[in-house]
Amino acid sequence: MNYKLIVQSLLLGTSVIVGPVGAQAWEPRFYNPQPLENDVVLPMPCDGSMVFRKVYVPASKPLDDLPIHVGQDSEEWGYVEQTRPDFIAGSFTEKQGKGSTRYYLMAKYELSQLQYQAVMNAECPKAKNSGRLPQTELNWMDAMQFAHRYNQWLRENALNRLPAEDGTAGFVRLPTEIEWEFAARGGVELGQSDFRGLTYPMPEGLNQYEWYGGAQSSNGKVQLTGLLKPNPLGLHDMLGNVDELIFESFRLNKLDRQHGQAGGFIVRGANYLSPAADLRSALRKEQAYYGQSGPTQSKTTGARFALVSTALTSRDRVAAIEKNWQELGTGAGESQQDHNGAVQQLGKLATEVEDEGLKVQLKDLELQLRAAKQRQEEARDSAIQSDLELGAFLCTKLKDDGLYLENLERNFELNCKGDLADATCERREAGLKEQQDRVHKLGRYYADSLIRSGNLYGQTLISQQVPLLQELMERNPSQRQLLPYLQAHWITQQAYLKNGQIDVKKWSQACKQVKLP
């Protein structure tokens, strides 16, 4: 116990949060039963620990965020879970090659009884296996108090262990609904089709990944954290075992947006009493902050914490955000001629008119126009990424089909020239011509796609999307094999943008020469 800190607080008349007494170091099996590479481990009182995983969200500019769709199409629960667009961004910056990426952190396991007691009790709990059970019967205020006490303890005892953004230490809190669902679905580790599925992919079957009600799974009992396999981000029990508290208040779904009324608090995920059919990434429920006798809590509700940073971390960051904000919807950084004159003219008029009412209207119109242009720019950037991904995929086809054609040509040369010709040669020649035609058409389609994209968007806009798509492919195991083809395609497209020369044969050859790691 930090007696010096206690004495100082008494002399100054301030309060201090200190850890419980009687600490005995925990063995890793009590806080990280399934360790993974790149786990982020934070200390806790009582020589304990809490483990987090990084959830990456590719970004380059301060106000960049990733458009996603959350929820699920549902006739029955549309007003709660209907699919809608949203956006996600990271808190912390991580250097990556010549650039950088962003991420936030999510607790790898549900908050355990052992972890809760280590922060909230006056004496240290004994580390035992039953302490790995999730801490349930938490009300929303309990979770807030836990986060507050843990943050205070971290700042007093382990400030240098906290990830920092722009020199400002992060903090622990309940996740927002978007942070939770993005992580529950698997983040950028998955392609769009898997991300939009009812659950993240479970190749070995539901029972190997999540706890739910019934004799085939939990058998009506809450289970120790971390017994089953994790989701693609390395997070355990995201959709089952206990449902989890969310930071913000519940809102109904109004088609493609949320309704204006804020209600009780949100819990996400199913629990150990839920039927298997209820396990889905979109499952969300409302609970009242207070019942008839006090704060609402449940034997099936627990918590999982996020680790994030503030947004306005320094004067330099504020200046960078302000600059980025001023550029939104103005086409700043584009190579095209000024097609945003309306935005600039409105801004100029708004500063020159003397009528205050008209000035407000013009300024409002300018912001509306900028917002509309910003939506167009985001749609354009998504289309550029799609074109780049198509180029990489076509490059793989050019390699595979081209190598197959070479094999057919060798076999025809060996078996059907001169005296070697036999009855199969007519069939071989027809197959050879068919493959030659296929490769020719594929090469033309690849060239048309490359030329159209280059002429439509230009070097500046395409180059901004290449590193973002590279990161998405790098983090998605199913797309990782496309990376060398994307690099080959981008080299070819840059050459075309520089000299305007079209050489389909050379472009196809570049794809055939791609070497896989």
In Å, what is the CA distance from 470 to each residue of 90, 341, 375? 17, 33, 23
For residues 387 and 449, give the distance between their C-alpha atoms in angstroms, rounded to a whole number. 8
Regarding predicted confidence, which is higher, 352 or 500? 500
CB 268 within 8 A of CB 70: no
pLDDT at 75 over 80: no
User: Residue 262: what are its φ and ψ, rounded to 5°?
Assistant: -100, 130
Any domain includes 316: no
Of the CA atoms within 13 Å of residue 16, those in its CB half-sphere come to 19
Mean pLDDT of 151-170: 96
For residues 38 and 477, give the distance between their C-alpha atoms in angstroms, rounded to a whole number. 17
Q: What's the confidence (pLDDT) of residue 11?
A: 41
pLDDT at 3 over 70: no
Q: What's the confidence (pLDDT) of residue 290?
A: 96
Residue type, 466: V
Q: What's the confidence (pLDDT) of residue 4?
A: 40
Same domain membership, residue 205 and residue 66: yes
Query: Which helix or strand (DSSP H or E) is residue 411 part of?
Result: helix 356-415
Q: What's the confidence (pLDDT) of residue 479?
A: 92
Any domain includes 205: yes
Any domain includes 34: no
Regarding predicted confidence, which is higher, 235 or 411? 235
Same domain membership, residue 141 and residue 94: yes
Decide: helix, strand or coil at residue 134.
strand
Any domain includes 238: yes
Same domain membership, residue 442 and residue 304: no
Q: How many domains does the chain have?
A: 3
Same domain membership, residue 360 and residue 411: no
Selection from 173, 167, 19 nearest residue 105 by Cα: 173
Q: What's the confidence (pLDDT) of residue 357?
A: 76
DSSP state at residue 204: T
Same domain membership, residue 286 and residue 264: yes
Regarding predicted confidence, which is higher, 475 or 424? 475
Regarding predicted confidence, which is higher, 124 or 426? 124
Would you state the structure tokens that stand for residue 469, as one six-digit string? 């798509």
Decide: helix, strand or coil at residue 43.
strand
Taking only the tens place, the pLDDT of each residue in 425-451 is: 888 889 999 999 999 999 999 999 999
CB atoms within 10 A of CB 471: 21
Beta strand pairing status for 99-107 and 171-173? unpaired
Any domain includes 165: yes
Q: Which residues contact 29 (CB under 8 A, 6 or more apart)?
A: 129
Measured at the alpha carbon of residue 155, what is the angle toward residues 154 and 157, in degrees to the nearest 5?
65
Same domain membership, residue 383 and residue 333: no
pLDDT at 374 over 70: yes
Would you state the structure tokens that stand for residue 404, as one six-digit string? 């197959």
CB 30 within 8 A of CB 65: no
CB 102 within 8 A of CB 119: no
Q: What's the confidence (pLDDT) of residue 256?
A: 84
Residue 424 belongs to domain spanning = 377-512
Q: What average pLDDT does the structure give for the chain?
A: 89
Measured in whole angstroms, the distance separating CA 213 from the mean position of its chain's CA atoms is 29
Residue 328 pLDDT class (50, 70, 90 cuts)? confident
Handedness of CA 20, 26, 30, 32 (dihedral sign): positive
Q: By mean pLDDT, which of 58-62, 115-119, 446-450 is the weakest?
A: 58-62
Same domain membership, residue 435 and residue 480: yes
Selection from 22, 24, 58, 52 nearest residue 40 by Cα: 52
Tell me how many helices (H) and strands (E) the chain has.
Answer: 12, 16
Residue whose pair of structure tokens reads 């599925």 in the numeric block:
197
Alpha helix positions (H), 136-206:
140-157, 177-185, 192-195
Selection from 359, 244, 376 nearest residue 304 by Cα: 244
Q: What's the confidence (pLDDT) of residue 335?
A: 47
- Bridge partners for 70 per DSSP: 84
Percent of the chain with pLDDT over 90: 74
Residue whose pair of structure tokens reads 């927002």 in the numeric block:
176
Taking only the tens place, the pLDDT of each residue in 12-29 is: 344 444 556 556 789 999
Mean pLDDT of 375-396: 93
Any domain includes 315: no
For residues 503 and 493, give the distance between their C-alpha atoms in angstroms, rounded to a whole number. 11
Same domain membership, residue 409 and residue 338: no
Q: Which residues contact 481 (CB under 8 A, 6 or more apart)?
A: 396, 516
CB 233 within 8 A of CB 57: no
List the CATH number of the domain containing 185: 3.90.1580.10
Any domain includes 33: no
Same domain membership, residue 388 and residue 358: no
Q: By mean pLDDT, which of 57-71, 150-164, 320-334 is the weakest?
A: 320-334
Any domain includes 323: no
Q: By mean pLDDT, which of 14-23, 204-213, 255-264, 489-498 is the weakest?
A: 14-23
Q: What's the confidence (pLDDT) of residue 332?
A: 64
Mean pLDDT of 299-325: 92
Residue 171 pLDDT class (50, 70, 90 cuts)? very high
Regarding predicted confidence, which is higher, 367 or 413? 413
Same domain membership, residue 388 and residue 354: no
Taking only the tens place, the pLDDT of each residue in 214-240 is: 999 999 999 999 999 999 999 999 999
Q: What's the confidence (pLDDT) of residue 470?
A: 94
Taking only the tens place, the pLDDT of each residue in 456-469 is: 999 999 999 999 99
